[in-house]
Copies of this chain bind each other. A is one copy, B any other.
């Protein structure tokens, strides 16, 4: 798009254009109801119905299976970013959801096993029509990601699943849960794995506990599995405990970058609000708009710097992922490469989320006391945006050591 003069995240394919256009339209509508869902701590079912209807939820499903055919990470990330401008809670839920069909589509490309192909196609077809909505439920309170306590034990015909997941964003909307699990096979040896759990399976319960400072409409509840029976093919062993599985790395990478884009969207909304306010707010005795005060220009200038850096870096990282995934089939993935790629994504994500907080803070400053009022958009965004750093896979308590260890050539997983 040759007319662009800023680093706003933009789609890079015709399918991406359609997706981002949809995201923009939804964002506008969601923004109107976001304050109410925040106040009442309710889940915006209507948002999800609308996105199923419009086809947005099927964005990453191939066209032949009923979706929009988006394959570019750059497109996904741009769409999540736009949704974030309207409603951060919904944006992070969509990010979680979209990454799943994107990942299944990638698996499908290289899959030789015919039964597997049929299953993936079925799943994607359901996603394409908006009937399959995914919830990535990995986090457990008090445990690092690659050390889940949730256990899938061998049982006749498959597995039995027990455990509890927290921060399961988007759980009220989902029909399928993806959870990391500790697989205990017949040899009694626990391994890290991955389970696909139908929301409707007996023993699955969503505990509606989510009540937080912000992101109140994200439905990030607990999920409890109580002796849930799973078909054998719904559990996949990915490797030893304590490591990020090579096979699922692409999913984790896309998820992490999309989250950063969502929080960037929140910051963009706050900044736009502040710029608008600064042009309209007048302060006696001069009665000129406060935009003309150098201190306001300075704050706005600093926020622009933060946004430009985050946008540019997210865009560059998304492009990097696309190029890397294009060049590497699942079978060709190398753990060393993936950790270096994760280091890059993590650098961008941890900083973009931190700067998003600062941008909203500056918007608050520009607003004078006005932004501090409960009814102000800014006071909600200030609460929402603080969620960013808690988001997985690496919080600030882990991220810098992880990054540092990869850079220094040390085993990075020790940091966790």
Contacts and interface: CB of A to CB of B under 8 A. Distances in A.
Interface of A: 1-7, 141-144, 147, 149, 166-167, 211-214, 242, 275, 278-279, 281-285, 290-302, 304-305, 307-317, 320, 323-324, 326-328, 337, 340-341, 343-344, 347-348, 350-351, 364-366, 368-369, 372-375, 379, 382-383, 386-387, 389-390, 395-405, 407-410, 415
A374 B212 contact: yes
A401 B7 contact: no
B401 A298 contact: yes
B347 A309 contact: yes
A76 to B, nearest CB: 17
Nearest to A341: B5
A107 B46 CA distance: 55
B212 A296 contact: no
B382 A297 contact: no
Contacts of A285: 143-144, 147, 242
A308 B344 contact: yes
A404 to B, nearest CB: 3
B213 A379 contact: yes
Contacts of A407: 275, 300-301, 304
B340 A5 contact: yes
Nearest to A350: B305
Contacts of A316: 7, 311-313, 315-316
11 contacts: A1-B323, A2-B328, A6-B320, A291-B408, A293-B397, A297-B410, A298-B404, A300-B403, A305-B400, A315-B316, A383-B383
A254 to B, nearest CB: 15
B305 A351 contact: yes
A350 B305 CA distance: 8
A98 to B, nearest CB: 22
Given A299-B396, A300-B407, 17 more contacts: A2-B323, A2-B327, A3-B324, A4-B324, A5-B343, A142-B283, A292-B410, A294-B401, A295-B400, A296-B404, A296-B408, A300-B404, A305-B351, A312-B314, A368-B390, A369-B390, A382-B386
A167 B292 CA distance: 25
Nearest to A9: B316
Contacts of A401: 294-295, 297-298, 301
